[in-house]
Structure 1
């Protein structure tokens, strides 16, 4: 095992007294410690450059994990430099009730030393062993941290909180995100398009009445932040890597409040199964009848809308090729512009196509018994909603597309439904 004689301590200054204890104990065992308040001379003009030089000069970085350190731009900057310089990192948990609150997401699966409270003496011995100092016990093997999201990604999580997302843990402490939902009561609605609708395709016609059981639909599509936790848990694979570098998984993780894309129907299904396991509630993909009802049925007026907000197209209310920015946007960006469906769901027109549970079938009418079975690997599934690179025609609530369940695209994502009530 290599002997590490020079270390860099990355920490939040709120725990200065504890860090001072670590520093003294390490130096007593012959370890050279680089710490900012000692190593940065008064009048240092370029803090970033000084930190970079300091990290280059050491052999290992000690990340003193705490909720405050996780939220610190300075600490994040130090970890970014360590990653770029391929420096081993030893996470040392010094504060906080939950490990995942004290570390960036990319470090949540790393082996760490628990130094909280009375655990300090044992933690010090474990750290000394990890550094190769004689007399230490039970070493933690230093690891090179995988690429971290940029600093700007952390405020995004606060934005998800503001939209009603809730960070929770299962009984084993595994984190997941519970999405906000909109309740859709049981009852009949009018599905499809009228025969005289010149924009409608034949597979939307004719309109017909259909009864749907009660369910709750995600207020927004599933985000990168939500899906990433399932990836970390091993429940779903990393999304596919497209040739368009804007949508690689590394780039997606920089936009935690955007819809996750490059996922197959099977990936979406498996995410729902994982969320079901985590919550003890039934989560699944929406049937296309459920999705369409949530998107357009105005029960108060006994009327089926053409778009989620009404019957008249308004390019200011949706991210499409008609006036949109030419790229996928964060969830909820159009909420303040009146894009809500009658039940309060957002982003149901444009931005990304959404996978349905439903098998493709010759239209109409819809039959849940016939079209909500699993199907084989070659079966085609329905997609709804349109995307940022499609026009208003495809953003009509009745429009539908399809593709193979094992195929993916940079404009395909999904949202979830809670409840077991299928179409009757």
Structure 2
């Protein structure tokens, strides 16, 4: 049986701590993606990271306030969820997290050297990968969750492993090349942004309507924090949900992706 391939998601501020851990895992025969070693000058590093994550089996997230605040780490976590990669969070520093990672089994690495943490990661690998591979989700149609007029718009009620949720109609977006970043010559005030580069975007789907109160209601029922004036909002289930912070939106998306698998 081949060893799972590992992707390390982290803040570059933690490179020094991560390096011995990566070396220890590599010495044990694991294929470990670590940006300090794999990224080279001249690479399209955005595309390289995304492709590498999809090519690896398990994502190890080194959690610190800096990594949790990193847009790139958040993107890597979201991509791992979207591609159904098992995630092992390693808490290097006390970090206030939300959403999907709250449901994961953590490795506590606060005030610890990284090589012993590598051994703890190895101990978890055999538990994580088979569980993800063999689990069969029970999905049952639940039209009673959705008012008829919303059903007519394409909203669907479902119970997955006993968890109720409502999914919206989707608009399919074809894949293709997309230009990201800023032209620094034309936009000199935005030199802090990445330079323009082309990435290949896979086909994806976008909700036809903004997230409704009804959709978010089931996340709240499952434990998500309610937004402001939730009682008033709940009186209009077909309205777009409002007063949602970025972290709440991310937690909702992660919850939905986790439940749907």
Aligned residues: 176
Tell me the equivalent position of 2:74: 76
- Are residue 411 (structure 1) and residue 248 (structure 2) matched? no
Distance 1:73 1:53, change over 3 A: same
Give how far 1:354 is off.
Answer: 2.2
Structure 2: give runs of 5+ residues left out of the alignment.
Answer: 133-162, 171-206, 244-261
Residues 20 and 114 in structure 2, CA contact (< 8 A), matched pair in contact too: no
Give how far 1:412 is off.
Answer: 8.4
- Give per-residue Cα distances to partners, 1:144-185, cap 9 Å, x unaligned: 6xxxxxxxxxxxxxxxxxxxxxxxxxxxxxxxxxxxxxxxxx
* Structure 2 residue corresponding to 1:261, chosen from 201, 213, 227: 213
Q: Please identify which structure carries the higher helix content.
A: 2
Tell me the equivalent position of 1:27: 26
Supply the distance in 2 between the matched residues of 1:40 and 1:104 (Cα, whole angstroms): 29
Give how far 1:107 is off.
Answer: 1.9
Residues 3 and 29 in structure 2, CA contact (< 8 A), matched pair in contact too: no
Tell me the equivalent position of 2:61: 63
- 2:103 alignment partner, SS class: coil
Supply the distance in 1 between the matched residues of 2:36 and 2:219 (Cα, whole angstroms): 48
Give how far 1:35 is off.
Answer: 1.0
| TM superposition score normalised by structure 1 | 0.34
Supply the distance in 1 between the matched residues of 2:217 and 2:24 (Cα, whole angstroms): 54
Tell me the equivalent position of 1:110: 104
Distance 1:114 1:411, change over 3 A: same
Supply the distance in 2 between the matched residues of 1:63 and 1:48 (Cα, whole angstroms): 18
Residues 353 and 413 in structure 1, CA contact (< 8 A), matched pair in contact too: no
Residues 348-363 of structure 1: matches in 2 within 5 Å?
A: 354=232
Give how far 1:116 is off.
Answer: 1.7
Distance 1:142 1:40, change over 3 A: farther
Give how far 1:82 is off.
Answer: 2.5
Structure 1: give runs of 5+ residues left out of the alignment.
Answer: 133-138, 145-236, 253-259, 279-329, 332-346, 357-382, 384-407, 416-424
Structural RMSD (CA): 4.3
Supply the distance in 1 between the matched residues of 2:19 and 2:56 (Cα, whole angstroms): 18
Give how far 1:142 is off.
Answer: 7.7
- Are residue 11 (structure 1) and residue 10 (structure 2) matched? yes
